[in-house]
Amino acid sequence: MTPASKESPTPERPAVGRRAVLGAAAAAAAAAPALLGRTAAAAAPARKGPRALPGGGDLGPNVLVFDPSTPGIQAKLDEVFDKQEKAQFDTGRYALLFRPGTYHGLNAQLGFYTSIAGLGLSPDDTTINGDVTVDAGWFNGNATQNFWRSAENLALVPVNGTNRWAVAQAAPFRRMHVRGGLNLAPAGDGWASGGYLADSRIDGTVEPRSQQQWYSRDSAVGGWSNGVWNMVFSGVEGAPAQTFPNPPYTVLDTTPLSREKPFLYLDGDAYRVFLPELRTNARGVTWGNGTPRGTSLPLSQFYVAKPGDSAATLNQALTQGLHLLLTPGIYHLDEPINVSAANTVVLGLGYATLIPDNGVTALKTADVDGIRLAGFLIDAGPVNSRTLLEIGPDGASADHAGNPTTVQDVFLRIGGAGPGKATTSIVVNSRHTLVDHTWVWRADHGDGVGWDTNRADYGIRVNGDDVLATGLFVEHFNKYDVQWYGQRGRTVFLQNEKAYDAPDQAAVQDGDVKGYAAYKVADSVTSHEAWGLGSYCFYNVDPGIVQHHGFAAPNAPGVTFHGLLVVSLGGKGQFERVINDTGAPTSGSSTVPSTVVAYP
């Protein structure tokens, strides 16, 4: 976010023929779940202990499902928006789901903790002749706090030809087809600080306008009009040419590895969860020729969790062989959720939120193949947690190259909604893990905010080898934001701000080095590559604080960086260098990036 973020603002359903293409694979998966590495709950042997939990069931009161014939859709959309427009740290959580078909004259304005999605296999199965809008009227035209909302799996025909999606962090635009243009800035071109686009087709031009940074992956665009600080593209058809730093475009022709996020869809009237396949050197959307490639699971193989379910209940469901579908709401945990079986899916709807109450880790995974974590928020509790999310145990070493764990749209927050503490937010131990879009945020505003009040020393620590991160947003940690110890790690896009509230230079002194780097590759690493990394400082308590550099890495032949920048926001703190001892210092009160095109 920019410095201003510190301020508070006073028909008929289409035939299912195309989806039937998936039928054989889906039926096989349902009939032989062992192929997916799980055992169906119905096949579990009888045993003593708690009564078996059921799979499937109702999605709960905060999942609103619409059909083209549903009366009063716009009124219901407006009702949810009225509740959520300004509800930055409230407890409301909503998922707005649209059955396949065509809808007319809708404007779905999205507020906090609101997700909108189609229930087809392709975005084109569910068409809204209208808009899905994010704007910033609630914050006087400033979009830098438009967090925690999402749009997925819909086709839009915008009323005026261009859809407005003025967002900041944790607001993915996934698997969307806009039959027109896309504007990433608020009305009046106020500040915006996003953002993430994936597996989407924008027929017209994407206009960032005032949007400061953006990452687009495996998509297709009709054009791209400008850039402010850091625009990164991988696997995007129609992306602009590589021109960093002017314009600030960092462009990879393909994404090294990707696997799209699991999603809920309807097969007739039955819910299923689609699991897209792994792609290497990916480019363009997964759904362009109709049915996407992958497998699916019936809802009967999921425990449909409701707010109030305990960690013990969620773990019992996992032990039974069920996957987890977390419906919208708050889940308080007194022990970790332990995901131990290969190919387990944990999918959240409507920003379902996990809160560890007593200093535990919210979720841990075993060192097994193919776990998929997606679509939920972890909110640190008032008792310090050593970690909030652990991917694999300490010392994990198994090879998962053919079927990695994926972490997608999983967001972490320390403070803001109340006091929270965590020493390290995410630890990645398992090899080949794919982290695809996360915002890890030590809050700089809200309740329970202060240098020691919401203490959080480290954002992400990567210990595992061969880990790929596509779309890292990591901000405001007391020490290092990203630490990388694994070999052959890769990152495509980083957006970072150093902690605003450091009291003085001594508080951020890293031994003999002024300030903790935003992104540090350990001295033991001999192979690492990263593209499109940006770090900003806004030391508003002590504007005299100096960061020696934004990025730190060993001088080794296999360690390379492309498209780096540091920015001093309004002169509140300064950077002396960009990476190690390379790069020009930032300049006084001028909010102008200092850049390094390639390192070494």
Residue 43 pLDDT > 60: no
The reported pLDDT for the residue numbered 48 is: 63
Residue 44 pLDDT > 90: no
pLDDT band at 6 (very low <50, low <70, confident <90, very high): very low
- The tokens 């305990």 sit on which residue? 310
Average pLDDT over residues 403-427: 98
What span, in angstroms and rounded, lies between the C-alpha atoms of 427 and 398?
16
CA atoms within 13 A on the CB side of 40: 16
Give percent of the chain above pLDDT 90.
90
- Global pTM reads 0.93
- Catalytic pick from 152, 260, 475, 497? 497
CA atoms within 13 A on the CB side of 262: 32
Mean pLDDT of the chain, nearest integer? 93
pLDDT band at 31 (very low <50, low <70, confident <90, very high): very low
What span, in angstroms and rounded, lies between the C-alpha atoms of 8 and 511?
36
The reported pLDDT for the residue numbered 216 is: 98
CA-to-CA dists, residue 562 to 179, 486, 536, 596, angstroms: 33, 19, 17, 8
- 576 flagged as catalytic: no
- Look at the chain and count its residues: 600
The reported pLDDT for the residue numbered 289 is: 81
Which of 429, 431, 541, 568 is CA-nearest to residue 478? 541
Instruction: Give residue-wise pLDDT tens across range 47-78.
Output: 467 899 999 999 999 999 999 999 999 999 99
Torsion sign, CA atoms 416, 421, 424, 429: negative
The reported pLDDT for the residue numbered 533 is: 98
Average pLDDT over residues 375-385: 98
Instruction: Give residue-wise pLDDT tens across range 550-587.
Output: 999 999 999 999 999 999 999 999 999 999 999 999 99
Residue 12 pLDDT > 80: no
